[in-house]
Structure 1
Amino acid sequence: MTASSKMTSSTTLLSLFMKEDEEGRNKKTTTSTTLESLLMKERRNWVDLPPELTTSILLRLSLTDILDNAQKVCKEWRRICKDPSMWRKINTRDCLMYNFDFVSMCRHIVDLSQGGLLEINVDEHFLSDSLLSYITDRSRNLRSLGLGMCFPRVTKLGVVNAIAKIPLLETLEVTHSCIKLDLKAIGHACPQLKTLKLNSLGRLGPASDKYDSNVLDDMGPLECDDDALAIAESMPKLHHLQLMANRLTNTGLNAILDGCPHLEHLTQVFQD
């Protein structure tokens, strides 16, 4: 097809769209759109987009895409990717490249946030007491914390010490936990806590032989009301509570209902 035939075809197609618009909506076209102007729109330089729009687009990428690709496209994108506003919310659970140095990446992202980090979810594959301490030392305004627990790298004392540094915390989610957290200490350290989600592994079976005695000492029994009583005593502002694989009794449940008057949603899944 020649350039002339392409032009004729495109012009005809454009005229059909203009005719349909005029007949269907009863509007008059006051300007003519040429093929050249359409091509110019197709070739629009993304660097010319408003910074806030570019930021909105880049925020939809994964962490590894931003750090490994987007920030290397041009100077403007690199400037945007290094802006602290890009790093208010972080979810490392979306990163599936297990050969990546996640610990270094997570530390780098926390540094980029410059203390403005508000929400972070950390995957259990690389979480440790050391990394958790690094995050909370530099993110005192943190409002939401999601932890995938992996032992023995994460301990009960490590969690309590880290959470004590973020008193503005409103949401705490702990998954795959096989230790008994000090919920009373956590509640007193975070008086604004409104959402608590605990997904426990429950009592370990024969596979627990791979843990040493120091770690086993950190793992408490789950078939009691200790967690419920700690929540009732120290978390009066809770609105949402989720307890998975927890063997609390009716006594513990009633204590929660009495001690958390603002509770709106309670999800409880018992462990057999």
Structure 2
Amino acid sequence: MMMPSACSIASKKAKGDGTTVPNWLELPREITANILQRLPTVQIVTSACLVCPQWWNICKDPLMWRTIHMAGFDYFTCSFRELAKICQYAIERSCGHLIDIQIEYFGSDDILECIAQSASNLRCMQLVECFQISDKGFIDAVRKLPKLEEVRISLCDLSSNSLEALGRSCPLLKVLQYARPLYVSSIGKEDHLALAISETMSKLCYLDIQRTSITNIGLLAILDGCPLLEYLDIDECFHLKNLSNNLRKRCIEQIKDLRLPNPNNYGEYDHIEIACKRAHRKSVTILTNLCSNSYGSLKMNRKYQN
């Protein structure tokens, strides 16, 4: 005998109360799928698919997993290990249909390997503060993801070697956001990043490299090597705060949507202060991950943070 679903039970209770509530099971399958796809990936895997057999079958459809967004969680209630398992489950469920993925904090070489093996049609990838991803892991993955068109890397410890491999492996790349942790780049010059971009990403239309340490030489290389560029953000690039008139003029003439550094935003030690804040945030993230399997430790951390 089949057990009644949560949806039908809720509908019956509503009728008993004299209120009118639609039975979700009566919705067409495609509408239900459209609604479920709007839920966060974690909720689909841990909750929605368990509501009733119909929703379970819908969630088994690989097309349900064309987009996987896993960011903005309360990391005191869900460990990195749990998030990684959920993410890998969703990637494998996609059966090659995954085209857009966003991962925050818990990304690792293992997850990138899973993406490379199961999502060769991936178009968009966003990695935010994924300190467990190495250059080797990233390079090995992007070599198997030639259809990437948009990549956003925010505050990950990835070097110019990763950018060069990305450009050489993904000829369709049009959008790149790259924000390296300032405690890594510090106040040194990073024109090797600009050269990696200019020499391998000639089809770029959108480039956001704010807060990197490129100089006039690197900026000029990008302008020469990326003729299709329409959007360029170089705000908070410490070494570009005093652009020459000629270079500034060329940027304005060549780029339709331009974000230039604002010299008024730079104090003598602003870059050091920002770097310290980033380093502190990384430390908190790592400590949270290490303590995530101990409820008592997590509770104590939350108490002291408040």
The alignment's TM-score, normalised by the length of structure 2, stands at 0.66
Query: Match for 2:109: what amino acid?
Result: D
Comparing 249-258 and 230-239, the one that deviates more: 249-258
Map Cα deviations across residues 43-88 of structure 1 (whole Å, 9 max, x no partner).
3211111111111111221222212221122111111111111100
Whether contact under 8 Å (2:133, 2:157) holds in the other structure is: no
Whether contact under 8 Å (2:102, 2:126) holds in the other structure is: yes
Whether contact under 8 Å (1:163, 1:189) holds in the other structure is: yes
* 1:121 is aligned to 2:74: no
Query: Match for 1:131: what amino acid?
Result: I
- Correspondence for 1:104: 85
* 1:158 is aligned to 2:158: no
SS in 1 for 2:159: coil
Query: Match for 2:126: what amino acid?
Result: G
Query: Match for 2:151: what amino acid?
Result: L
Map Cα deviations across residues 72-119 of structure 1 (whole Å, 9 max, x no partner).
221111111111111001111144354241111111101110111101
Larger CA Rg, structure 1 vs 2: 1
Whether contact under 8 Å (1:180, 1:222) holds in the other structure is: no
Q: Please, which of 170, 181, 184 is the counterpart of residue 201 of structure 1?
A: 181
* 1:188 is aligned to 2:168: yes
In 2 relative to 1, CA 155–221 (structure 1 residues): closer, same or farther, beyond 3 Å?
Answer: farther
- Correspondence for 2:207: 241
- Correspondence for 1:88: 66
Residue 220 of structure 1, CA deviation: 9.7
Whether contact under 8 Å (2:139, 2:166) holds in the other structure is: yes
* 1:229 is aligned to 2:195: yes
Task: From the two aligned structures, give the one with the greater helix fraction.
Answer: 2
Whether contact under 8 Å (1:129, 1:154) holds in the other structure is: yes
- Correspondence for 1:24: none
SS in 1 for 2:203: coil
- Correspondence for 1:65: 43
| Structure 2 CA distance for aligned equivalents of residues 112 and 177 of structure 1 | 27
Query: Match for 2:22: what amino acid?
Result: R
Whether contact under 8 Å (2:142, 2:165) holds in the other structure is: no
SS in 2 for 1:177: coil
SS in 1 for 2:182: coil
| Structure 1 CA distance for aligned equivalents of residues 152 and 187 of structure 2 | 20
Identity of aligned residues (%): 36
Gaps of 5+ in 2: 1-14, 239-270, 272-306
Query: Match for 1:135: what amino acid?
Result: I
Map Cα deviations across residues 24-55 of structure 1 (whole Å, 9 max, x no partner).
xxxxxxxxxxxx9xx79x23211111111111
Gaps of 5+ in 1: 1-35, 205-218
Comparing 227-236 and 177-186, the one that deviates more: 177-186
- Correspondence for 1:6: none
Query: Match for 1:115: what amino acid?
Result: G
Between the two proteins, the alignment pairs up a number of residues equal to 218
In 2 relative to 1, CA 94–162 (structure 1 residues): closer, same or farther, beyond 3 Å?
Answer: same
- Correspondence for 2:10: none
| Structure 2 CA distance for aligned equivalents of residues 172 and 223 of structure 1 | 23
| Structure 2 CA distance for aligned equivalents of residues 246 and 44 of structure 1 | 53
- Correspondence for 1:266: 232
Whether contact under 8 Å (2:49, 2:55) holds in the other structure is: yes
| Structure 2 CA distance for aligned equivalents of residues 187 and 224 of structure 1 | 17
CA RMSD of aligned residues (A): 2.1
Whether contact under 8 Å (1:118, 1:143) holds in the other structure is: yes
| Structure 1 CA distance for aligned equivalents of residues 93 and 73 of structure 2 | 18
Query: Match for 1:245: what amino acid?
Result: R
Query: Match for 1:250: what amino acid?
Result: N
In 2 relative to 1, CA 128–141 (structure 1 residues): closer, same or farther, beyond 3 Å?
Answer: same
Query: Match for 2:223: what amino acid?
Result: L
Comparing 106-115 and 63-72, the one that deviates more: 63-72
- Correspondence for 2:25: 47
Comparing 131-140 and 230-239, the one that deviates more: 131-140
| Structure 1 CA distance for aligned equivalents of residues 231 and 113 of structure 2 | 31
